[in-house]
Amino acid sequence: MSQIKAPTLAVVADYGAVRIGHATSFFELLGGAQSDGGWAGEGVTPNRFAVIPSATHYTINTDPRFAQAAAAFLAVE
């Protein structure tokens, strides 16, 4: 995953085909969740991880919370 240089948003449905544990492992490969983020956010990477609750891999693409997570990620400077 070290080849990915752009900030990345990993999104998963909590009732989807991809298990949350696998998605978490992917996020960790991107450098996320490796340490405490710290009081000032000094340990936070530019990558983000979102779990859409009560969604499935069938419904996540039309779930407004998916769009909200993507919009918030894209709005980060």
For 8-63, the pLDDT digits (tens) are: 999 999 998 889 899 999 999 988 887 778 788 788 889 999 999 999 999 999 99
User: 0.95 exceeded by the pTM?
Assistant: no
Q: Does residue 4 lie within any of the structural domains?
A: no
Q: Does residue 27 lie within any of the structural domains?
A: yes
Structural domains in the chain (count): 1
Which among 15, 9, 23 is positioned nearest to 63, based on CA atoms?
15
Domain containing residue 68: 9-75
Q: Does residue 1 lie within any of the structural domains?
A: no
Q: Does residue 2 lie within any of the structural domains?
A: no
Q: Does residue 69 lie within any of the structural domains?
A: yes
d(CA 48, CA 62): 20
